[in-house]
Amino acid sequence: MKSYKSDSATPVMKGGRVAVVGGGNVAMDAARTALRMGAEKVSIIYRRSMEELPARREEVEHAMEEGIEFRLLCNPIEILPHTFPNDPKNPLNNFVRGIKCIQMQLGEPDEKGRRRPVPIENSEFIIDVDTVIMSIGTSPNPLIKNTTEGLNVNSKGGIIVNGDGLTSRAYVYAGGDAVTGAATVISAMGAGKKAAEAIDLAIKGKAQA
Ligand SMILES: Cc1cc2nc3c(=O)[nH]c(=O)nc-3n(C[C@H](O)[C@H](O)[C@H](O)COP(=O)(O)OP(=O)(O)OC[C@H]3O[C@@H](n4cnc5c(N)ncnc54)[C@H](O)[C@@H]3O)c2cc1C
């Protein structure tokens, strides 16, 4: 989509004020990367407190050291766009101007023992930002599932494979996050290696038949 061009419909955004929603390792990574790419200010927005923050401690410490702001007990409820009804060609039209949040407090523990965040009534406020990065988990893109007949997926959209990475379609293999859901580089590489061996054997077997 030519996003490297600043006048494209979806240009790569750099600099400005950035909000990162989420409190995991990926959120810390996104926040620190945004800062290193020239953001003026980066805020992590997380709906629970520091105690429940799921990122590894050292990731949090490094983010703090680098100057990331932590907005805790803070839940986003709306992303606000710039709107210029009388100037529809204004390049800022529909670009982010802020994020509306509500202050939270911790209530009773949920089934996992983590205290549930509860919104405080009438505590909404706006943080002025130019970019919002959602960092609250990923799931496999449904495009492949929707366009590939006979490809079985589980309830979370992950492609179902056997121990060799073979899917429900003959000679079609899968591995990594598309199978397991969000995981790690090393497990994706492992799955790729295993599938490569199985593909090699399958091709040799086919050639011999
Ligand atoms: C910000 C961030 C930080 C992370 N930090 C770490 C970390 O420090 N350590 C760690 O171990 N893991 C980390 N992870 C997780 C790690 O990146 C993933 O687990 C890993 O990349 C999964 O590898 P993959 O090959 O399964 O998928 P991906 O790396 O997502 O690769 C999938 C590829 O398939 C392409 N694709 C998608 N659909 C199609 C299609 N229809 N046709 C063709 N190509 C297609 C995509 O463009 C992409 O290139 C991080 C993730 C994020 C988002």
Same domain for 112 and 43, yes or no, is yes
The count of residues in the chain is: 209
DSSP 8-state assignment for residue 3? T
pTM confidence score: 0.85
pLDDT, averaged per 10 consecutive residues of the chain (209 residues), comes to: 87 90 97 96 96 95 98 97 91 92 93 89 97 92 93 96 96 96 96 97 84
Query: Looking at 105, 134, 163, which one is the last position of a domain?
Result: 134
- Residue 14: the pLDDT is 82
List all residues whose CB is within 6 A of at least one atom of ligand 1: 26, 29-30, 141, 143-144, 176-178, 183-186, 188
Integer Cα distance of 158 and 165 in angstroms: 12
CATH of the domain at 28: 3.50.50.60
Question: Last residue of some domain: 85, 116, 134?
Answer: 134
What total of structural domains would you count in the chain? 2
The range of the structural domain enclosing residue 67 comes to 17-134
The b/e string for 144-164 (b: 16+ C-beta within 10 A; e otherwise) is beeeeeebebeeeebbebeee
110 Cα: distance to centroid of ligand 1 (angstroms) = 31
Residue 157 placed within a domain: yes
Chosen domain end from 112, 134, 156: 134
Does residue 68 lie within any of the structural domains?
yes
| 129 vs 203: CA distance, rounded Å | 53
